[in-house]
Structure 1
Amino acid sequence: MSPDPSPFHLVPGAVGSPVLLHVPHSSRAIPAPVRAGIVLDDEALETELDHITDSHTAELAARASTACAVAPWRFVNGLSRLVVDPERFPDDREEMLAVGMGAVYTRTTHGERLRPPGADPEPLLDRWFHPYARAMTAAVDERLAATGRAVVVDLHSYPSTALPYELHGAGPRPPVCLGTDGFHTPPGLLARAEAAFAGFGGTGLNSPFPGTYVPLKHYGRDRRVSALMIEIRRDTYMTEPGGPYGPGLDAVASALTALVDGLTDG
């Protein structure tokens, strides 16, 4: 396999910023060797990408970073999550395995087969998943070394209507879902996010998607690493399922800017 040698990108921010904006699911790019292992035809694949991609979240992170008084760092995935999903556990701890959406997906958002039966995930994990995890771990370590703390803000979006793959799709679908972790999301971080997004129509907690991303090296071990997932409901800023963004993106970027500025101040 010969993909882009840099499928993920660490975009530097200010030396003194502890904030790392994580954008794992914004890309639609699939290298040709990986595409060859996907059983969907071109039209079906484009439809699946419409549903599964967190469209425009990289643009959101870029706009907020430019507007912040102290620029945060950004870690951006340049490949689709249909290559590998860097936020999944790579083993049987991953609950999304039940619907064929572990670290390497075997099913689509609608339960259709994505890869052939028995396809070996290990080459994809070795080529993309593990290098991504190592690089993200290093990025967090760099913020810890530079500032004594790291704040991972995990940026996502979700559809206004639940898709069949969602394990928790029956719950509330607020304009902004805040995903938390009992160890890594302190009350102050959550309160700042709730305040920053209050004018965007309100926030909800861990529904329809709970949790947030923390590298396994730090997960459950290092309280200097705090983390929060921000899931923006797509109808608030773009045309669903995979269309262009609208004026709502500016409002989201303003709210995210306010949050990051508050986190940088401590």
Structure 2
Amino acid sequence: MSDLQQPFTLIPGAAGSPVLLHVPHGSRRVPHHVRQGITLDDPALERELDHITDAHTAELAAAAAALAPVAPWRFVNNLSRLVVDPERFPDEREEMLAVGMGAVYTRTTHREQLRPPEDDPSPLLEAYFHPYADAMTEAVEARIAAAGRAVVIDVHSYPTAPLPYELHGTGPRPPVCLGIDPFHTPPGLLAAAKAAFGDRFGHDGIAHDTPFAGTYVPLRHYGSDRRVTALMIEIRRDTYMTEPGGPAGPGLEMLAGALAELVRSVSSR
């Protein structure tokens, strides 16, 4: 089975690197059997994928890994988040359930029906969500075993204008949003990100937890293991691509340099 057929891929970096670049939302792929449970017609699904996909983030992570002096490891989701969203909680703790966008989405970015709300999400959770979570947990634990720590850098993008599904879309939308966790994002990691991206965008171009907040940590480590640090990088899409869903532009190379500098900084600490 090729990497493109696998639900996710772990791409090795340097043996001693603590850094794991996580790319959960960069794919448009929806397997045929999953597509059959989606109520949108084909053109509407393509439009939804334009809005919901963090386009070119896998390419961004790959370019940064090639530039970094110590290559990070990369964990890349090869399926669209319309299959399952691996960064949601699989239960009622997730506030995005309020807009039909928990672990298995029932609504689109424009709050239209994606799946019948009465559909049982369990088959998709068992087939995709839980194996993904287990593999990410193993990848993090492998970095701890190799380097004594794991640094998860979550690579995302977001649209210039807010979409109807956003629960916190009225706040500032800076070129770079840094999502933090009070337990897993130490001041040094946040400062390193501000320095790396601030060199490109200036101090006013960087903010944290607006319009999106938090970052991904496997549940096994969440809130209990300080060897796991984490930060979410959210890039506003007009800085590097044509919206929605269009080609990447020259900004992608600049962003790859910033991300590589962040990887270099945290790898050497």
Q: Could you say which TM-score interval applies, normalised by the shorter chain?
A: over 0.9
Q: Which residue, 253, 261, 267 being the options, matches 1:264?
A: 267
The aligned counterpart of 2:140 is 140
Code of the residue aligned with 2:159 in structure 1: it is P
Unmatched 5+ residue regions in structure 1? none
Alignment deviations for residues 185-244 of structure 1 (CA, whole Å, 9 cap, x no partner): 000000000000003322111000000000000000000000000000000000001000
2:121 alignment partner in structure 1: 121
Superposed displacement of residue 5, structure 1: 6.1
Number of the residue aligned with 2:211: 208
> Partners of 2:146 and 2:59 in 1: how far apart?
26
Letter in 2 for 1:127: A
Aligned to 1:197, the other structure's residue is in SS state: helix
Q: For residue 199 of structure 2, what is the amino acid of its counterpart?
A: G
Distance 1:179 1:185 in 2: 9
- Show CA shifts across 1:153-207 (max 9, x none): 0000000000000011000000000000000000000000000000332211100
Map 1:27-46; keep pairs closer than 5 Å.
27-46=27-46
Q: Where does the alignment leave 5 or more consecutive residues of structure 2 unmatched?
A: none
Deviation at 1:6?
2.1
> What do the CA deviations read for 1:106-134 (whole angstroms, capped 9, x no partner)?
00000000002301100000000000000
Residue in 2 that maps onto 1:234: 237
Contact 1:20/1:140, CA 8 A, preserved across alignment: yes
Counterpart code for 2:133: A
Give the Cα–Cα distance (whole angstroms) in 1 for the partners of residues 115 and 7 of structure 2.
21
Identical positions, percent:
72
Give the 4+ runs in structure 1 shifted more than 6 A.
none
What are the superposed Cα offsets for residues 16-54 of structure 1, whole Å, 9 maximum, x if unpaired?
100000000000000000000000000000000000000
The corresponding residue for 1:220 is 223
User: What's the counterpart of residue 13 of structure 1?
Assistant: 13
**1:229 maps to amino acid:** M
Give secondary structure in 1 for the equivalent of 2:222: coil
SS in 1 for 2:130: helix
Could you say which residue in structure 1 is the equivalent of 2:65?
A: 65
RMSD: 1.0
User: For 2:91 and 2:5, how far apart are their aligned partners in 1?
Assistant: 25
d(CA) in 1 for partners of 2:242, 2:212: 21
Q: Following superposition of structure 1 onto structure 2, how do residues 103-114 of structure 1 map, counting pairs within 5 Å?
A: 103-114=103-114
Corresponding residue SS for 1:123: helix
Give the whole-Å Cα distance in 2 for the aligned partners of 1:183 and 1:29. 34
- Determine helix, strand or coil for the equivalent of 1:178: strand
Task: Find the residue that maps to 1:22 and give its secondary structure.
Answer: strand
Distance 1:5 1:163 in 2: 30
Q: Is the 8 A contact 1:175 1:200 kept in 2?
A: no
Q: What one-letter code is carried by the residue in structure 2 that aligns with 1:204? A: A
**Alignment-derived partner of residue 182 in structure 2:** 182
Alpha-carbon distance in structure 2 between the residues aligned to 1:104 and 1:200: 36
Residue 229 of structure 1 aligns to a residue whose secondary structure is strand
2:251 aligned with 1:251: no
Q: Give SS of 2:10's match.
A: strand
Q: What whole-Å deviation, never above 9, does each CA across 1:124-146 have from its counterpart, x for those lacking one?
A: 00000000000000000000001
Q: Which residue type is aligned with residue 256 of structure 1?
A: L
- What is the CA–CA distance in structure 1 between the aligned matches of 2:5 and 2:16, rounded to whole Å? 29
TM-score w.r.t. the length of structure 1 is 0.98
* TM-score of the two chains, using structure 2 as the length reference: 0.97
